[in-house]
Amino acid sequence: MIEKPISEWTNEEKNKANLDNVARDIIYKTLDKNMFSKIKTCTTAKEIWEKLMQMCEENDLTKENKLTLAIQKFESIKLKLGETMNEFDERFSSIITEMNALGKSYSNR
């Protein structure tokens, strides 16, 4: 598709382009350098938004998978042959810390 020159744009097309520029500017100002580098190739605010949504969904899915693995570790933890109680406690505490960081916690019971 060939874009027509800006000089041939209608008022409606100019307004849409301006709104897109404003939206992109707002999004750019809210992103850190790491996130900006992931969306800098997007050409419209809509593309940027869709890319950000995709990245967030992947983060949620990744978090859910990590939590599932941590819960499996928690439910199947056993003292290993030759392992001291201190080593077991460190392993157990590590799993609990990981689960807490992912939003899952258990009471002391």
Report whether 95 contacts 77 (CB < 8 A): yes
The whole-number pLDDT of residue 1 equals 55
The whole-number pLDDT of residue 2 equals 65
| Separation between Cα atoms, residue 38 and residue 75, nearest integer Å | 37
| Separation between Cα atoms, residue 31 and residue 44, nearest integer Å | 16
Render pLDDT for 11-60 as a digit per residue (tens, 0 to 9): 999 999 999 999 999 999 998 888 899 999 999 999 999 999 888 777 77
Number of C-beta neighbours around residue 12 at 10 A: 8
pTM of the model: 0.54
* Predicted confidence band of residue 109 (pLDDT cuts 50, 70, 90): low
Q: Is 41 left (phi over 0), alpha (psi -120 to 50) or beta?
A: alpha
Report whether 62 contacts 38 (CB < 8 A): no
